[in-house]
Amino acid sequence: MKNKIKPYLLILPSIIIFLLFSILPLIYMFYLSIHKGSIVKPAIEFIGFKNYQELFLDPSFIEAIQNTFYYAGIFVLSIVLISIPLSLWLSKNGSIYKITTSFIFSPHVTAIVSIALIFTWIMDTENGILNWFLQLIGLEPIGWLTDSKVALNSVIIVAVWKGIGYYTLIMMSSVTNLPQNIYEACSIDNIPKHKVLRRITLPLLSPTIFFIIIVALINSIQVFGTINIMTQGGPANSTTTLVYYLYEQTFKFSDIGGAAATGIILLLFLMILSILYFILFSKRVHYK
């Protein structure tokens, strides 16, 4: 009997921590989402699912959803398309590749506040380096952070620049462990490099690519820091994402119920996207 209970006792501390810091906050957030309240009094009146109804009737919330999915799609696609060739190139032997790897990874360990402030200055409409260079070659300046059609793409560029080193390093760990005897056989048979890449390298890297897409998707949907510092959701809500919308509902409008409902919807989006991705693409991942 003691041997049967012992494993559960060993994992009990982890279960308690998981319940206290993950499950209970989710339950409390759902409780707040079905109540009307403020920061001072989070749950004043029970209103059922009225907060959810009001969210989907709010044009700003719908725009935040669209911005979030656009941001996530472009960010994940950029990360995958850049990290794969970059990792294949940096996996070669030589000091130049090691130095380049260090430079590429360094933005990831730099504080997001510092990066966002630097790029805010670089992308400044009047005094930024980017527009100075454009004017130098005879082109019109661009409102990188002030044009509603460009601002979100500018924020994505900053996020990709900061995160690409992290995802490339993960990809490199898989590239360096690829079985070299397969490539030697391909070399002897004079198989074209593009076929080797498509039929051998990418399938062998598929577990890592699968992991990177999931992590990048979750991180991109939760984006907040760069938007809060660089654009504050503007111009005209063009860079407002779900997390920033939640932030505004809490600290700008003091609507705890609406913010909690936004959090629940954000969680559901993450769960649905992750499940769909696993269903659709897990069979294409080659673990052996």
Residue 50 lies in a domain: no
Alpha carbons 56 and 49: distance in angstroms, whole number: 11
Residue 130 lies in a domain: yes
- Overall domain count for the chain: 1
Dig out the tokens for 109 from the structure: 């360990």
- pLDDT band at 284, cuts 50/70/90? low
Residue 146 lies in a domain: yes
CATH number for the domain spanning 110: value is 1.10.3720.10
- pLDDT band at 274, cuts 50/70/90? confident
Residue 11 lies in a domain: no
Residue 98 lies in a domain: yes
Q: Residue 43: what pLDDT?
A: 73
Q: In sequence order, what are the residues at sequence separation of 6 or more whose Cβ sits closer than 8 angstroms to the Cβ of residue 200?
A: 182, 183, 186
Percent of the chain with pLDDT over 90: 50
Element (H, E) at 35: strand 35-36
Please say if the pLDDT value at position 2 is more than 70: no
Mean of all residue pLDDT scores within the chain: 88
Which range, of 110-124, 180-194, 209-223, averages the lowest pLDDT? 180-194
* Cβ neighbours, 10 Å, residue 87: 22
Q: Residue 76: what pLDDT?
A: 95
Residue 258 lies in a domain: yes
Residue 200 lies in a domain: yes
The torsion angles phi and psi of 118, rounded to 5 degrees, stand at -65, -45
Residue 266 lies in a domain: yes
What's the average model confidence in pLDDT over 186-215?
86
**Which has more confidence, 104 or 40?**
104
What's the average model confidence in pLDDT over 181-192?
82
Residues 69-83 pLDDT 10s: 999 999 999 999 999
226: left (phi over 0), alpha (psi -120 to 50) or beta: alpha
Q: Residue 200: what pLDDT?
A: 85
Among candidate residues 71, 27, 67, 31, the one with its CA nearest the CA of residue 51: 31
Residue 123's domain comprises 58-284
